[in-house]
Amino acid sequence: MADSTHHTIRRAAARPRGWCCSFAGVPDSPEHRRALPASSAVGAAVPKLPPPPPLLPKSPLAPSSHHSSPSSKLAGLIDPRRILSPGRVSPIDSEGSPAVADAEGPPREQAAPFVAVREDEDGERGGERNALDLRLCLRGRDGRCVAMDLDSAVLCGSSAFFAGMVPNASASGGGGGDRRVEVDGVDNLEAFKEAVELMFEPDAMRWLARAGVSRAIAVLEVSSSIMFDRGIESCLKYIEAVPWNENEEEKLKHVFARCTFDESVCKDVLARLQQQCTSGSKDLTVQLVESITSGTNNVARKEMQSLVSGLLSKSSVYHKDLSGLNKGGLYQICCSCLSSLVELFMEDSEPVEDVDQAMTTSDSRPMIEKISKQTENLNWLFDILLNNDMAEEYVELWARQVELIRMHEQASPMFRYELSRISASVFIALGKGRIQCPSNTRCQLFHGWFRPMLTDFGWLQRCSKGLDVRILEENLGQALLTLPLHQQQSLFVEWFQCFASRGTECPNLSRAFQVWWRRSFVRSSVEVRR
């Protein structure tokens, strides 16, 4: 058997104990113990305890520098005014629950104690080192109490805080079992108790694996406060090696904000909490968007579009401001997609010179997929810009596509209606008032893309691809009403003639037409001064 000492956890009275813990009331102080008379019968009144001896004066603790006393490390976790002098019992506070139940009051439920035993290599007791020579009493802010009988050598050897708190056996005025330390005002009583338990664990990593991440984070904070170095290292080692959920990540960040750890032991955890490189997310965002727009798998591309849109949304918990979006980079990708779209329509408009080329161009399926892909990319980019209040320049960019407007008249209907899908997104945003563009930009947009919209509306109804044509009709009319009245007139007259000849193959703008007519020809009781 190896020479090293090991620990085992057992039930009370099973083996000689190294420490024990109970959630019952704090037991009587050693100097107050009194044996009952031999003549006492069952049910007889138990004599009340005499008043406690006067307490030694207490001095409040305050946070200090790295070289301050051990007890100052508990600032923020334990109320510093309630750490009492060694060997004394805390008084019963008026605002807290009593640590010891009154003799005449109802009995408190006694919890089964746990015992930690230190063994030598031969399995026998290791002499005085195994004696329970110290009682540690913990009281939480909620009034709950924990009493732990401990091996003071293990406690003091593990924690620099307790090494300065525990009195020597000679200073306690009696045997080692009379020594007593009380810590009051503990915020997380369970975590404090578990941090002490961890001092007696031979395999801390196994204990933490059973406890889980949340409890390990709580024990980490206590270990830092009581300067339990082995506990700090074990907790950080375990936490770094396992996954965290979002709540656990936030707890860990709060612990690092309150506590200071040596960089050599916490650098691996910090590497998972903080981005080490100095560059922001702007270039990465552009790189991700560009990868999606150039992707060839349609299913995967749509899934990634949904993922990135959620991350970049203003309502997302992951995106707090606009600093993570590179506006210039996104518009460069928009221009690239527009250039690809122009090239595809030019390719479709080229004459067929031989049979092989005729067979290639007659198979329109690949061309449809290519055009549809670029259309989806442009609509997706427009949604990102729109949701982040950056879409005004997109409207101007789309209004200036003179080459695409010209080729729209010559292209096949199954190709050209894809361009009107882009126009539909822009018209809907304008009609809802989500974009505030100058009047000349809106006029240029309608001058170029209103007639193609009237032509392609029937195809948009049959191949909507998620477009709500009723919303399109309503907002197309609302957007048209934002133009000057004389320009509205020319566009409404064009729509009226188209609708009269094509019916439902043309958008129904009757409501917007009535508004325009009233504003133009019905005399109002209020005259507008020029």
Over residues 233-290, the pLDDT tens digits come to: 999 999 999 999 999 999 999 999 999 999 999 999 999 998 766 555 667 888 999 9
- Quote the pLDDT of residue 525: 59
Q: Between 117 and 274, whose confidence is greater?
A: 274
pLDDT tens digit string along 415-426? Answer: 899 999 999 999
Q: Which pLDDT band, with edges at 50, 70 and 90, does 30 fall under?
A: very low
Specify which residues 305 forms β-bridges with.
none
> Residue 10 has what pLDDT?
37
Higher-confidence residue of 522 and 162: namely 162
pLDDT-derived band at 165, boundaries 50, 70, 90: confident
**Angle subtended at Cα 161 by Cα 216 and Cα 182, rounded to the nearest 5 degrees:** 90
What's the rounded Cα separation, in Å, for the pair 267 and 116? 33
pLDDT at 326: 86
Dihedral angle computed from the Cα positions of residues 489, 491, 493 and 497, in that order, rounded to the nearest 10 degrees: -170
Whether residue 68 has pLDDT greater than 90: no
* For residue 63, pLDDT beyond 50: no
CA atoms of 140 and 147, how far apart (whole Å): 12
Place of tokens 């909490």: 273
Query: Average pLDDT, whole number, for the chain?
Result: 75
Prediction pTM value: 0.65
Please give the domain boundaries of the chain with CATH numbers for all domains: 131-166+178-273 (3.30.710.10), 280-308+325-348+367-521 (no CATH)
Would you state the pLDDT for residue 317?
Answer: 57
Tens digits of per-residue pLDDT, 426-459? 999 999 999 999 999 999 999 999 999 999 999 9
**Distance of alpha carbon 391 from alpha carbon 315, whole angstroms:** 17
192, containing H or E segment: helix 189-199
pLDDT digits (tens, 9 = 90+) for 310-354: 888 776 555 445 555 788 999 999 999 999 999 999 987 766 555
pLDDT recorded at residue 72: 42
The first and second tokens of residue 18, run together, are: 């190294």
State the pLDDT at residue 321: 52
Task: Tell me how crowded residue 81 is: count the other CB atoms within 10 A of its CB.
Answer: 12
Q: List all residues 6 or more positions away from 476 whose beta carbon is below 8 Å from its beta carbon.
A: 424, 427, 428, 431, 453, 507, 509, 512
Beta-carbon neighbour count of residue 241 at 10 Å? 12
Beta bridge partners of 119: 6, 125
pLDDT level of residue 164 (50, 70, 90 thresholds): confident
Do residues 84 and 90 make contact, with C-beta atoms less than 8 angstroms apart?
yes
pLDDT digits (tens, 9 = 90+) for 213-249: 999 999 999 999 999 999 999 999 999 999 999 999 9
Task: Say how many Å lie between the first and final Cα of the chain, rounded.
Answer: 105
Report the C-alpha gap between 161 and 225 in whole angstroms: 8
